[in-house]
Structure 1
Amino acid sequence: MESTKSATKVDPKLANAWKTKAGRDLSEPELLAMPEGEYMNDKQLDFFRARLQALKDDLLSNAGETTEHLREDTTVVPDPADRATIEEEHALELRTRDRERKLLKKISQSLARIDAGDYGYCDETGEPIGLGRLLARPTATLSLEAQQRRELKQKMFGD
């Protein structure tokens, strides 16, 4: 185990950047270089709060564009094939927005978890979820192992 730690030696500049920078200004490598004992400290929570808020703002701006786009395309098109294409594009856009709406709900829940002090810890086990997983999926509520168990149960027994 000790040889693994020395093999993945962390650049000292990255390892100490968190001490002088604001959480929201940290890069992903700087965040990952932080000591394990600092897991979900104020700077990490600030980093994820900023990331979640940026994602939320982006989704909300996309939603406004969709509404505008759907309004623009209300012209009557005489050709049935063209009309069908436009309707299919609208249906696809609305499905995408529905997925984004569900993601917005998860983002809001994650922001509430940050405020409550629960963010970054598995709902089932209470173990740390891990920075790598949270960087990949900031709305994660389960550790990788708990998520795999849940998916295996769903595959075996259905929803």
Structure 2
Amino acid sequence: MAATATSDMEKLAKARAAVGDNYTPSEDEEYMSERQLDYFRMLLLDWKKSIHDAAGQTLQSLQDGPIREPDLNDRASSETDWGIELRTRDRQRKLIAKIDAALRRIDAGEYGYCEVTGDPIGLKRLIARPVATMTVEAQEAHERREKISRDD
């Protein structure tokens, strides 16, 4: 785990150096150019780092926080808060898996292209959702098929 974190930090520093501070991908450039890939790598690694930092803060809070509240209402409120926090961390754990998959797609040269149609996903969608694997149209069709199969 520590080796992976160090490797991620090295990749993040390299991507930041390649991209610069004020760069934002534009439609005028070649799609998924090296600079765009470095931008998305930096975006994904920053996101992953912030999730790890938040998880570390949650863990520290769990270790420091009171185990038992004397008042039943306070205890119920604390347990509810911790339940919500732990569910959030579980969702973020799943998000880290998607971030890692997106980073692997960058390394493999597959990032930015729909896994269903092979068409470009689009810069605006990737900036909004860097872990996206499908174009908006393919995602909508996928969700319609899911809804139909759930309704059956």
TM beyond 0.5: yes
- Residue by residue, what CA displacement relative to the aligned partner does 1:24-73 show, whole Å, maximum 9, x if unpaired? 54533xx12433xx000100000000010000100000000000111122
Structure 2 residue identity aligned to 1:72: D
Tell me the residue number matched to 1:140: 132
- What is the Cα-based RMSD across aligned positions, in Å? 1.7
Structure 2: how far apart are the matches of 1:139 and 1:24?
22
Give SS of 2:127's match. helix
Give SS of 2:98's match. helix
Long gaps (5+) in structure 1: 1-20
Matches within 5 A, 1:1-159: 22-28=18-24, 31-35=25-29, 38-158=30-150
Give the structure, 1 or 2, with the largest relative contact order (CA under 8 Å, sep 6 or more): 2
Structure 2: how far apart are the matches of 1:25 and 1:44?
13
Tell me the residue number matched to 2:5: none
Tell me the residue number matched to 1:5: none
Structure 1 residue identity aligned to 2:91: R
Structure 2: how far apart are the matches of 1:144 and 1:24?
29
Structure 1: how far apart are the matches of 2:90 and 2:73?
26
Structure 2: how far apart are the matches of 1:24 and 1:121?
24
Aligned residues of 2:114 and 2:133 also touching (Cα < 8 A): yes
- Residue by residue, what CA displacement relative to the aligned partner does 1:10-31 show, whole Å, maximum 9, x if unpaired? xxxxxxxxxxx94354533xx1
Structure 2 residue identity aligned to 1:32: S
Aligned residues of 1:23 and 1:45 also touching (Cα < 8 A): no
Q: Percent identity?
A: 47
Larger radius of gyration: 1
Give SS of 1:158's match. helix
Structure 1: how far apart are the matches of 2:47 and 2:129?
11
Give SS of 1:39's match. coil
Long gaps (5+) in structure 2: 1-16
TM-score (norm 2): 0.83
Structure 2: how far apart are the matches of 1:26 and 1:45?
15
